[in-house]
Amino acid sequence: MKRIFDAQLLGPLAAMGLVTLVVALTTDRFLDPGNLSNLALQVSIVSLVAIGATVVIFTGGIDLSSGSMVALLTMVLATLVKSMGVPLWPALAGVLLLGALLGALNGVLTAFLRIPSFIVTLAGLIAYRGLALMFNAGSPIFSLDPHLEPVFYGRLLGIPLPFYYLVLFYGAATVMMNNTRLGREFYAVGGNPAAAKLSGINVRRVQTWAFAIAGLMTAVGAILMAARLNSGSPNYGQTLELQAIAAAVVGGASLAGGRGNILSTLVGALTIVIVQNGLNLNAAPSAVQNVILGLIILVAVGFDMWRSEIARIVGGRAARRTEARRGA
Amino acid sequence: MMHPSDEPLWDVVEVSKAYPGVLANDRVSIRLMPGRIHGLLGENGCGKSTLIRLLSGVDRPDSGEIRLRGRPVALTSPTGARELGVSTVFQEFSIVPSLTVAENVFLGRWPRRALGLIDWETMRRRSGEVLAELDIALDPDAITSTLSVAQQQLIEIAKAVAADAQLIILDEPTTALGLDEIAQLHRLLRRMRDKGHAILYVSHRLDEVTALVDEVTIMRGGRVVSAAGKTAVEVDAIVSAMIGGDVREHYPKERNARPQTILRVTGIGSARGVRDVSFTLRAGEVLGLGGVLGSGRTEIARALFGLDPLTAGSLEIEGRRLRISGPSDAIRAGLALVTENRKTDGLFFNFDGRANISSASLPRYSTFGFLSLRREDAEAASLARQLELSRGAEDKSVRHLSGGNQQKIVIARWLLSQARVLILDEPTQGIDIGAKLAVYRLINRLTAEGCAILLISSDHDELLAMSDRIAVVRQGTIADIRAPEDLTHADLVRAATTEIPTEGRTAA
Distance CA B227, CA B28 (A): 10
Count how many residues are written for chain B: 508
How would residue B169 be classed by pLDDT, with cut points 50, 70 and 90? very high
Is A312–B20 a contact, with Cβ atoms under 8 angstroms apart?
yes
Q: Give the mutation candidate from A57, A178, A184, A185 for the B interface (greatest B CB count, under 10 A).
A: A184
DSSP code, position A180: B
Chain A residues in contact with chain B using a Cβ-Cβ cutoff of 8 Å? 1-4, 178-182, 184-185, 187-188, 190-192, 194-202, 257-259, 311-312, 315-316, 318-320, 322-323
> Which of A192, A309, A314 would best serve as a mutation to test chain B binding (most B beta carbons within 10 A)?
A192
* pLDDT of the residue at A55: 96
Instruction: Pinpoint the alpha helices (H) of A112-134.
Output: 117-133
Are residues A187 and B351, on separate chains, in Cβ contact within 8 Å? yes
Residue B500 has a pLDDT of 40
CA atoms within 13 A on the CB side of B412: 29
Q: Tell me if A319 and B397 make a contact (CB, 8 A cut-off).
A: no
**Residue B501 pLDDT:** 39
CB-CB neighbors (< 8 A) of B397 in chain A: 4
User: B interface mutation test: which of A198, A202, A308 has the most B CBs within 10 A?
Assistant: A198
pLDDT higher than 80, residue B494: no
- Terminal CA-CA length for chain A: 37
- pLDDT the model gives residue A211: 97
pLDDT of residue B503: 40
Q: What is the pLDDT of residue A119?
A: 93
pLDDT band for position B489 (50/70/90)?
Answer: low
Rg, C-alpha atoms of chain A: 21
Q: Are A220 and A172 in contact (CB under 8 A)?
A: no
Confidence of residue B113 (pLDDT cuts 50, 70, 90): confident
Report chain A residues whose CB lies below 8 A from the CB of B19. Answer: 312, 315-316, 319
Does residue B246 have a pLDDT over 60? no
Gap between the Cα atoms of B494 and B110, Å rounded: 43
Please, are residues B447 and B285 in contact by the beta-carbon 8 Å criterion?
yes
Residue pair B432/B204 in contact by the 8 Å Cβ criterion = yes
- Closest residue, chain A, to B324 (C-alpha): A200
**Cα–chain center distance at A97:** 19
User: Does residue B110 surpass a pLDDT of 60?
Assistant: yes
ipTM of the modeled complex: 0.83
CB B484 within 8 A of CB B469: yes
pLDDT of B397 > 60? The answer is yes
Q: Is B107 exposed, middle or buried (0-12, 13-18, 19+ CB in 10 A)?
A: middle
Question: Is residue B502 pLDDT above 60, yes or no?
Answer: no
Mean pLDDT along residues B234-239: 72
- Please answer yes or no on whether A1 and B21 come within 8 Å at the CB atom: no
Dihedral over Cα of B98, B49, B466, B250: its sign: positive
To the nearest whole angstrom, how far is the Cα of B458 from the nearest Cα of chain A?
22
pLDDT of residue B20: 67
| B chain contacts of residue A323, beta-carbon cutoff 8 Å | 18, 23
For residues B233 and B487, the model is more confident at: B487
- How much is the pLDDT for A290? 82
Q: What was the pLDDT predicted at A324? A: 46
pLDDT at position A1: 37
Mean pLDDT, residues B334-344: 87
Region at A169 (left for phi over 0; alpha for psi -120 to 50; beta for the rest): alpha
* C-alpha to C-alpha distance for A280 and A289, rounded to whole angstroms: 8
Mean per-residue pLDDT, A195-199: 92
Give the pLDDT confidence score for residue B508 in this predicted structure: 34
Q: Is the pLDDT of residue B179 over 80?
A: no
For range B345-372, the mean pLDDT = 89
Query: Contact, A185 vs A201, CB < 8 A?
Result: yes
Give the pairing type, strands B198-202 and B37-42: parallel
Q: How many CB atoms are closer than 10 A to CB B247? A: 14
Mean pLDDT of A143-157: 87
Give the span between the Cα atoms of A238 and A67, in whole angstroms: 6
Q: Tell me, what's the pLDDT at A104?
A: 96
Residue B74 amino acid letter: A
**How far, in Å, CA of B145 to CA of B98, rounded?**
6
The pLDDT > 90 percentage for chain A reads 51
Strand boundaries in B75-193, DSSP class E = 86-89, 167-171
| Residue A181 CB partners (closer than 8 Å, separation 6+) | B362, B363, B365, B366, B369, B370, B371
Torsion of CA B220, B221, B227, B231, to 10 degrees: -20
Compute the distance between CA of residue A268 and CA of residue A209 in angstroms, rounded to an integer. 24
CA distances from A140 to A45, A46, A53, A181 (A): 19, 21, 26, 42
Tell me which DSSP letter residue B21 carries: T
Residue A65 near residue A124, CB atoms below 8 Å: yes
* CB of B89 closer than 8 Å to CB of B169: yes
How crowded is residue B462: how many other Cβ atoms within 10 Å of its Cβ?
20
Query: Cβ contact (<8 Å) for A188 and B373?
Result: no
DSSP B248: S
Cα B202 from Cα B217, distance rounded (Å) = 10
What's the rounded mean pLDDT across residues B147-167? 83
Per-residue pLDDT reduced to its tens digit, B17-76: 987 667 888 999 999 999 999 998 876 667 888 899 899 888 899 999 999 998 999 888
Residue of A nearest to B378 (CA): A1
Question: For an interface test with A, which of B351, B356, B374, B415 has the most A Cβ atoms less than 10 Å from its Cβ?
Answer: B351
Kindly provide the residue ranges of all beta strands, DSSP E only, lying in B160-260, ordered along the sequence.
Answer: 167-171, 198-202, 215-220, 223-226
Q: Do B20 and A184 touch (CB under 8 A)?
A: no
Instruction: Please indicate whether, in this complex, the C-beta atoms of A195 and B346 are within 8 angstroms of each other.
Output: yes
- DSSP E strand stretches across B37-154: 37-42, 63-68, 71-73, 86-89
Model pLDDT for residues B34-50, shown as the tens digit of each residue? 999 999 887 666 788 88
Contact: A196, B348; criterion CB under 8 Å: yes
Helices (H), B197-321: 206-212, 235-243, 297-304
| Contact assignment for A187 to B337 by CB distance below 8 Å | no
Listed in sequence order, the residues at least 6 apart from B40 whose beta carbon sits closer than 8 Å to its beta carbon are B30, B48, B51, B52, B200, B201, B202, B216, B217, B219
Give B23's contacts in chain A (Cβ within 8 Å). Answer: 319, 323
Nearest to A179 among B348, B351, B370 (CB): B370
Q: Which helix (H) or strand (E) holds B249?
A: none
Candidate from A200, A259, A319 with C-beta closest to B18: A319
pLDDT tens string B286-311? 999 987 667 788 889 999 999 988 88
* B504 has a pLDDT exceeding 60: no
CB atoms within 10 A of CB B433: 21
With contact defined as beta carbons under 8 Å apart, do B158 and B134 qualify? yes
Q: Considering only alpha carbons, which residue of chain A is nearest residue B19?
A: A316
Please state whether beta strands B421-425 and B452-456 pair in parallel, antiparallel, or not at all (unpaired): parallel
Model pLDDT, residue B225: 82
**Which of A185, A192, A194 lies closest to B362 in CB terms?**
A185
Q: How far apart are CA B395 and CA B384, in angstroms?
A: 11
CB contact under 8 A, B326 and A190: no
Measured in residues, chain A has a length of: 328
Q: Provide the sign of the torsion angle of the four alpha carbons B2, B4, B6, B9, taken in this order.
A: positive
Cα distance between residue A212 and residue A209, in whole Å: 5
pLDDT at residue B149 tops 80: no
CA distances from A291 to A135, A244, A278, B132, B452 (A): 35, 17, 14, 58, 63
Nearest to B463 by CA among B491, B435, B504: B491
Which of A1, A194, A199 lies nearest to residue B344, judging by beta carbons? A194
User: Using CA atoms, how far apart are residues A5 and A206, in angstroms rounded to an integer?
Assistant: 20
pLDDT digits (tens, 9 = 90+) for A54-107: 999 999 999 999 999 999 999 999 999 988 888 989 999 999 999 999 999 999
Q: In angstroms, rounded to a whole number, what is the distance separating the alpha carbons of residues A120 and A237?
A: 18
Q: What is the mean pLDDT of residues B84-102?
A: 83
Residues of B with CB under 8 A from a CB of A: 18-23, 62, 305, 307, 326-328, 330-332, 337, 339, 344-352, 355, 359-360, 362-363, 365-366, 369-371, 373-374, 377, 395, 397, 413
The answer to whether B290 and B455 have CB atoms below 8 angstroms apart is: no
What is d(CA B363, CA A181) in angstroms, rounded to the nearest whole number? Answer: 8
Class of residue B80 by CB neighbours under 10 A (exposed 0-12, middle 13-18, buried 19+):
middle
Q: Which residue has the higher pLDDT, B506 or A320?
A: A320
Task: Give B22 to chain A, closest Cα distance, Å.
Answer: 7
Query: Burial, A278: exposed, middle or buried (Cβ in 10 Å; 0-12, 13-18, 19+)?
Result: buried
pLDDT of amino acid A258: 87
- Summarised one tens digit per residue, pLDDT across range A244-269 is 999 998 888 888 888 888 999 999 99
Can you give the pLDDT at residue A92? 94
Strand B22-32 relative to strand B10-19: parallel, antiparallel, unpaired?
antiparallel
**pLDDT for the residue numbered A315:** 58
Centroid of chain to Cα A325: 47
Give the distance from CA B88 to its chain's centroid.
17
> Per the CB < 8 Å rule, is A258 touching B350?
yes
Average pLDDT in the A211-223 region? 96
**At CA B174, angle to CA B171 and CA B175, rounded to 5?**
90
Instruction: Find the closest chain A residue to B356 by CA distance.
Output: A188
Q: How far is CA A6 from CA A3, A262, B139, in A?
A: 6, 10, 53
CB pairs under 8 A between A and B: 114
- What are the Cα distances from residue A87, in Å, to A74, A75, A149, A234, B337? 15, 15, 15, 22, 55
Rounded-to-integer distance, Cα B337 and Cα B298, Å: 10
Q: For residues A267 and A238, is the Cβ–Cβ distance under 8 A?
A: no
Tell which wins on pLDDT, B236 or A72: A72
Residue in chain B nearest A317 by alpha carbon = B20
Average pLDDT over all residues of chain B: 83
